[in-house]
Amino acid sequence: MKAYLKFLCFGLFFISCKTGKLDALADISSSLNEISAIEKTSHSDVLWVIQDAGNNNHLYGLNLKGQIVKDIIVNNAENTDWEDLTSDADGNIYIGDFGNNSKKRTQFTIYKVLQPDKASSSVEAEQINFTLPKKMDSEDFESFFLHNGMFYLFSKDHKTCELIRIPNKPGHHVASYISKVKLKGKHVKVTSADISDDGTTVVLLNHDKLWKLTKYSADDFFSGTLEDFTFEHDTQKEGIYLISNNEVLITDERNKYDGGYIYRFNIK
């Protein structure tokens, strides 16, 4: 099963902020401190996660208790800065290697892992490489999802979130620019994204909130209605997966005092 929907726009209609409780479902294995994404395919109940820059090139499968049940090495992939996961209807997982904290990267890669639920302990991934549109400055990206054969990426910035798309085809591509939005609030850096199976809802994640986007036009996810949901606590949340149009799973990184959990959160 795939992720859920997308977000924001200039001209977007902002709705008042809502506050809700994160329900901790599982404590993630202590060997995984820097989880940067969570995704589930339609083929099993395994929750797929990765760690970001500075960690190994492994795709991990977790059970609902947060324990590692599968550990897959992606042989031909280097973890330059793995930031998010998405999947397709065939049960394939895509790893977004497009983190760019220094804003100096010019080449980005998405790795396609074929049906990891059936894979052995190591795989060779297909590669989708891309560069940014010519007039777009180098940006940091931590979030994407797959929808109607296209990858949609959201930039991570403290002022403006920009939306681009890349076709889901092997080879090298130049991304297409769609739109941008200025998110309201103090903390607005987008760390993960997802879209609903029916394509009507998008969610964007931040450390202390998420945004739910609906009623947009085509794939300009910034042209609809935006709802703002604030969490009760602020940890380094970097993974989101839409269970349904009104419920998500969220992961955060572990630090000395908190984090390292899988949470459930209602968005209605």
Q: Is residue 1 part of a domain?
A: no
**Is 94 within the bounds of a domain?**
yes
Residue 5 covered by a domain: no
- 235: domain CATH number is 2.120.10.30
The predicted structure's pLDDT at residue 233: 84
Alpha helices by DSSP H, listed for 116-254, are none
CA–chain centroid gap for 227, Å, is 18
Domains identified in the chain, total number? 1
Q: How many CB atoms lie within 10 A of CB 22?
A: 18
Q: Does residue 226 form part of some domain?
A: yes
What is the pTM (predicted TM-score) of this model?
0.92
CA–CA dist 165, 263 (Å, integer): 29
Integer Cα distance of 234 and 252 in angstroms? 10
Under 8 Å between Cβ of 86 and 94 = yes
Spell out the SS3 assignment of 18-76: EEECCEEEEECCCCCCCEEEEECCCCCCCEEEEECCCCCCEEEEECCCCCEEEEEEECC
229 and 203 in contact (C-beta within 8 Å)? no
Domain limits for position 119: 13-266
Q: What is the pLDDT of residue 100?
A: 97
Whether 193 is in a domain gets the answer yes
Q: Which amino acid is at 43?
A: H
* Cα atoms in the Cβ-side hemisphere of radius 13 Å centred on 25: 16
What is the model's pLDDT at position 251? 98
CA R_g for the chain: 17
DSSP-based three-state secondary structure for 108: strand
pLDDT in tens, the chain (268 residues): 333 223 223 334 444 456 678 999 999 999 999 999 999 998 899 999 999 999 999 999 999 999 999 999 999 999 999 999 999 999 999 999 999 999 999 999 999 999 999 999 999 999 999 999 999 999 999 999 999 999 999 999 988 999 999 999 999 999 999 999 999 888 899 999 999 999 999 999 999 999 999 999 999 999 999 999 999 888 999 999 999 999 999 999 999 889 999 999 999 8
- Residue 58 tokens read as 């492994």
Q: How far apart are the first and last CA of the chain?
A: 21
* Domain assignment present for 149: yes
Helix, strand, coil percent values for the chain (each to nearest 5): 0, 50, 50
Give the C-alpha separation, 241 to 37, whole Å: 8
Question: Residue 49 domain-assigned?
Answer: yes
pLDDT given for residue 44 in this prediction: 93
Alpha-carbon span 255 to 31, nearest angstrom: 12
Distances (CA, A) of 169 to 6, 94, 124, 126, 203: 21, 12, 16, 10, 24
